């Protein structure tokens, strides 16, 4: 089994647009650790996603997560986290209550929800090389049972395809693992 990212935008797009929930039914044992979560999807979101059937395409699932989140937060204006810590380490329930929105928040919301639906994901911590400066960025790797690869997915992008301007630094099971790593190292949060 290969645990690598397959690079082309076309491959990512094709996988996101064609893979179905049914294809996640018989996963290899090596992927099961990426289904475990320390957090539950809040009931309102979980109930709203119950209507998805096995024929749903991954892209439709991602769009539905986005739609349900907007519905659950009553389409209130999103609020930016106050810090890196607030972006990565706020609970799913508090994210919805406060209607937080950032790359780290979206990674938690989408990653936790996809796991609830039986889709293995990895949380990615990295950097975005912008025109004026480099900033922290977060996204997901979603497992593709079609070819045993991991597909980069950016829940903040309209088409969910990660920009080439992003560079991965580390992969985590979830943000709790990142917090453990950061707590053991001298580092200042931005």
Q: How far is residue 102's CA from residue 183's CA, in Å, rounded to a whole number?
A: 22
Q: Over the stretch 106-145, which tens digit does the pLDDT of each residue have?
A: 999 999 999 999 999 999 999 988 767 778 999 999 999 9
pLDDT score, position 190: 45
Report all structural domains of the chain as residue ranges with CATH numbers, in order of start.
Answer: 9-183 (3.10.620.30)
Q: How far is residue 103's CA from residue 87's CA, in Å, rounded to a whole number?
A: 8
116 contacts 46 by C-beta, under 8 angstroms: yes
> Could you tell me which of 79, 104, 76 has the C-alpha nearest to residue 90?
104
> Could you tell me which of 77, 75, 50, 49 has the C-alpha nearest to residue 64?
49
SS3 at position 5: strand
């Amino acid at each position: 089994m290969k645990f690598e990212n397959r690079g082309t935008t076309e491959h990512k797009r094709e996988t996101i647009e064609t893979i179905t929930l049914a294809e996640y039914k018989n996963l290899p044992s090596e992927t099961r650790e990426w289904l475990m979560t320390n957090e539950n999807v809040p009931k309102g979101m979980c109930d709203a996603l119950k209507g998805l059937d096995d024929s749903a395409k991954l892209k439709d699932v991602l769009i539905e997560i986005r739609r349900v989140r907007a519905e659950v937060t009553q389409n209130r204006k999103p609020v930016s986290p106050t810090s890196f810590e607030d972006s990565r380490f706020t609970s799913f329930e508090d994210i919805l209550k406060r209607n937080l929105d950032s790359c780290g928040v979206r990674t938690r919301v989408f990653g936790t929800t996809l796991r609830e639906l039986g889709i293995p994901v990895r949380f990615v911590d990295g950097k975005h090389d912008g025109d004026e400066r480099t900033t922290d960025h977060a996204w997901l790797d979603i497992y593709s049972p079609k070819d045993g690869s991991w597909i980069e997915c950016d829940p903040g992008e309209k088409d969910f395809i990660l920009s080439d301007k992003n560079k991965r630094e580390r992969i985590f099971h979830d943000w709790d693992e990142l917090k453990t790593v950061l707590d053991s190292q001298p580092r200042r949060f931005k």
